[in-house]
């Protein structure tokens, strides 16, 4: 694009577009068509194929087998376990996350920024790492419990194995989801409500109980439903805490079926995946109804500000929050680190016995763990980079070009992220098990099937910041470019992309953080040579190599912490 000056007309410089190419796919209906096509490919096709495999095997409608599988004894038990653990852990997450959200949102407690950072960091740690850390903390050979004289007798079963442990760890792991939702709700409360109550002499506790909590009721319900859906789809925590004692949820039942019977069980697992999706969809639908009710209820003149002056209780509240973080994050990670630094099971950790051999083993000697680190960096990095570029075009298309089609397309895009990852994994297996039409190439068992699943699952995450940023851009920039003859591609490249680049970069970093330790999808899609960190950690723990698994978990958590600090 160049600046051209007409010296005879004596006018201001204008943008002169270069000769247009003979075919511009992005012009006219090209960009909306591209957005719809990608949404159908990543969101619509996998779940259509899954439903077809469950209810129309061989493309002949025959739902009897799928319904029989859903009504089987093992499926009913796993469904009850999934609902039970998801509901109870969501209630626990509401309690913990609600306390943290209110303490950081309405009081003048010190250290809000580091407290919020480490609270969110605890959520970014992979679920399987969180489960492994708590297992290490309460194990009979726990160095932390031994240090304070509370170590149980050798051979004592770990109290976290089974239903109670799954509920506890999931509640703590999903509590930041609740806190984030409530923080968003607090920002939507007008300060005038608080000031009016203060003028009437209401105490901070009264304001919180009679104004803040009632106004936040929709966000509280939404937060609980988000935690419920996350619990239904969680694989890492039920796998590490439930499989050893045969306590199966729907995701772990699907994993056991596939690992035991392979592709021959795809019909049964497709039916189970549909059942998982149906349970999660109930929570998603309820959340959507709550979100619709709360739209446009309150106008904000002044942003919400903390109103509760703690006074002499300020250090006590801060100490309580740091203690919660220590129990939720610090002590489990310390237990995990001590297990990685101990030379052998049962050996007390001292300065003389401390060794880094397990870190050396997993980071430099074992080919599979080294390959897993490389694969996770490659898959997560590639997905983040591709989605960052895709998100810019999608944000423009959704905000400016789709019109009434926007909401249906957004629902298609959000489907793989909203539903449990195991559902998407089964759908990808069904799509790519056979060679692709026309080209006759199969990507099943290759890195590309994992990359496809990551692109489908994390596209909604990559879109959030760019779409929000696009909504703030005034249209006169684009209108000026059109008047000067710029094509849509040129406008995207020179005007839209530079403005959306920071938001796209933030989204890409978030995708990388989530995908780097991902297990739910890759646990069913990996093959020899395409192992990810989550898969290797789970395999090491199953093989009884707890120290090596702890070293992998600590190393992966260090990468996440470094990326978050960036």
What is the predicted pLDDT for the residue at 4?
Answer: 40
Q: What is the Cα–Cα distance from 250 to 75, expressed in whole angstroms?
A: 7
Distance CA 564, CA 244 (A): 33
Pairing of strands 2-4, 14-16: antiparallel
Distance CA 155, CA 312 (A): 47
Residues contacting residue 200 through CB under 8 Å, at least 6 positions apart: none
The predicted structure's pLDDT at residue 443: 87
- Distant-in-sequence, close-in-space partners of 12: CB < 8 Å, separation ≥ 6: none
- pTM attached to this predicted model: 0.84
Count the neighbouring beta carbons within 10 Å of the beta carbon of residue 49: 18
The answer for residues whose C-beta is within 8 angstroms of residue 214's C-beta and 6 or more apart is: none
Q: What is the reported pLDDT for 152?
A: 75
The DSSP call for residue 454 is H
- Distance CA(471)–CA(116), nearest Å, equals 27
> Residue 63: enclosing H or E segment and its boundaries?
none
What is the model's pLDDT at position 387? 93
Question: 3-class SS at 2?
Answer: strand
> Is-contact 537 128, C-beta < 8 A?
yes
Q: Read out DSSP for 48-108?
A: HHHHHHHHSGGGS--THHHHHHHTSHHHHHHHHHHHHHHHHHHHHHHHHHHHHHHHHHHB-
**How would you write 256-292 as a 3-class SS string?**
HHHHHHHHHHHHHHHHHHHHHHHHHHHHHHHHHHHHH
Give the tokens for residue 117: 């950072």
Q: Where are the alpha helices (DSSP H) in 397-420?
A: 406-418
Burial 435-454 (b: 16+ CB within 10 A, else e): eeeeeeeebbbbbebbbbbb
For residue 196, give the 3-state DSSP assignment.
helix
Q: How far apart are the C-alpha atoms of 311 and 334, rounded to whole Å?
A: 33
Q: Please tell me the distance from the alpha carbon of residue 416 to that of residue 453, in angstroms, as a whole number.
A: 9
> Can you list the positions of beta strands (E) in 470-521?
none
Residue with tokens 């939720």: 328
Domains annotated for the chain, with CATH where assigned, are: 26-55+356-566 (1.10.3720.10), 71-346 (1.10.3720.10)
Please give the pLDDT value at position 413.
87
Four-point Cα dihedral 284, 289, 293, 295, nearest 10: 50
Q: Residue 365 in contact with residue 528, Cβ under 8 Å? A: no
pLDDT computed for residue 450 by the predictor: 93
* Under 8 Å between Cβ of 81 and 247: yes
Strand-pairing partners, residue 3, are: 15
Q: Which residue is associated with the tokens 């005038």?
A: 192
Angstrom distance (rounded) from CA 43 to CA 437:
19
Q: Are 64 and 282 in contact (CB under 8 A)?
A: no
Helix axis angle, 314-325 to 73-106, nearest 10° = 150
In terms of C-beta density within 10 A (0-12 exposed, 13-18 middle, 19 or more buried), how is residue 22 classed? exposed
**Helix 266-294 / helix 45-55 crossing angle, nearest 10 deg:** 130
Question: Residue 252 contacts by C-beta under 8 Å, 6 or more apart in sequence?
Answer: 78, 235, 238, 239, 242, 243
**For residues 371 and 367, what is the distance between their CA atoms, to the nearest angstrom?**
6
Q: Which of 25, 297, 287 is nearest to 178 (CA)?
A: 287
- 3-state class of 101 per DSSP? helix
What are the phi and psi torsion angles at 14 (to 5°)? -130, 160
Q: Hey, which residues does 372 pair with through a beta bridge? A: none
Dist CA 227 CA 123 (whole Å): 12
Q: What SS3 state is found at 413?
A: helix
Mean pLDDT of successive 10-residue stretches along the chain, which has 566 residues: 40 41 49 86 88 84 85 92 94 94 91 92 89 88 78 80 94 93 86 84 88 88 90 90 92 87 78 87 78 58 79 92 92 89 76 84 87 92 93 85 81 83 88 80 88 92 86 70 68 80 89 88 87 89 85 90 84
CA distance 42 to 412: 8
Q: What is the pLDDT of residue 283?
A: 83
| Nearest-angstrom CA–CA distance, 476 and 496 | 12
């Amino acid at each position: 694009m160049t600046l051209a000056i007409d010296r005879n007309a004596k006018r201001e410089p204008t943008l002169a577009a270069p000769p247009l190419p003979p075919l511009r796919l992005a012009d006219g209906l090209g960009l909306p068509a591209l957005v719809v096509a990608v949404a159908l490919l990543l969101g619509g096709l996998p779940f259509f194929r899954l439903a077809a495999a469950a209810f129309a095997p061989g493309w002949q409608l025959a739902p009897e087998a799928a319904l029989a599988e859903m009504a089987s004894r093992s499926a009913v038990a796993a469904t009850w376990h999934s609902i039970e653990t998801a509901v109870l852990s969501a209630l626990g997450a509401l309690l913990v996350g609600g306390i943290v959200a209110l303490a950081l949102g309405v009081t003048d407690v010190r250290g809000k920024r580091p407290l919020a950072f480490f609270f969110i960091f605890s959520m970014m740690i992979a679920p399987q790492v969180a489960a492994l850390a708590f297992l290490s903390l309460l194990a009979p050979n726990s160095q932390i419990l031994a240090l304070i004289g509370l170590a149980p007798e050798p051979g004592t079963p770990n109290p976290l194995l089974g239903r109670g442990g799954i509920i506890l760890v999931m509640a703590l792991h999903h509590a930041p989801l609740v806190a984030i939702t409530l923080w968003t709700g607090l920002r939507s409360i007008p300060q005038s409500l608080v000031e009016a109550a203060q003028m009437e002499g209401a105490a901070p506790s009264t304001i919180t109980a009679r104004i803040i909590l009632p106004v936040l009721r929709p966000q509280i319900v939404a937060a609980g439903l988000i935690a419920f859906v996350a619990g239904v789809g969680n694989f890492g925590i039920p796998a590490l805490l439930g499989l050893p004692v045969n306590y199966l949820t729907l995701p772990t039942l699907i994993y056991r079926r596939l690992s035991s019977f392979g592709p021959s069980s795809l019909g049964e697992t497709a039916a189970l995946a549909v059942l998982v999706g149906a349970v999660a969809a109930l929570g998603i639908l309820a959340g959507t109804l709550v979100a619709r009710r709360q739209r446009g209820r309150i106008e904000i003149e002044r942003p919400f500000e903390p109103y509760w002056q703690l006074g002499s209780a300020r250090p006590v509240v801060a100490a309580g929050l740091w203690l919660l973080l220590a129990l939720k994050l610090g002590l489990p990670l310390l237990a995990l680190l001590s297990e990685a630094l101990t030379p052998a099971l049962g050996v007390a950790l001292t300065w003389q016995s401390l060794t880094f051999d397990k870190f050396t083993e997993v980071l430099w000697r074992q080919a599979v763990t080294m390959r897993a680190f490389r694969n996770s960096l490659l898959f997560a990095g590639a997905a983040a980079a591709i989605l960052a570029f895709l998100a810019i075009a999608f944000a423009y298309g959704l905000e400016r070009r789709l019109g009434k089609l926007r909401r249906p397309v957004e629902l298609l895009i959000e489907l793989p992220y909203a539903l449990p990852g195991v559902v998407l994994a089964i759908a990808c297996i069904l799509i790519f098990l056979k060679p692709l039409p026309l080209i006759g190439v199969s990507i099943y068992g290759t890195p590309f099937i994992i990359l496809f699943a990551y692109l489908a699952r994390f596209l909604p995450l990559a879109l959030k910041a760019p779409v929000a940023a696009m909504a703030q851009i005034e249209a006169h920039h684009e209108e000026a470019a059109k008047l000067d003859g710029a094509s849509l591609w040129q406008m995207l490249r020179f005007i839209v992309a530079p403005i959306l680049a920071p938001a796209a970069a933030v989204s890409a970093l978030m995708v990388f953080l989530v995908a780097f330790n991902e297990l739910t999808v890759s646990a069913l899609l990996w093959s020899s040579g395409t192992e990810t960190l989550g898969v290797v950690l789970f395999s090491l723990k199953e093989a009884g190599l707890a120290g090596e698994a702890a070293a992998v978990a600590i190393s992966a958590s260090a990468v996440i912490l470094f990326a978050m600090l960036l």
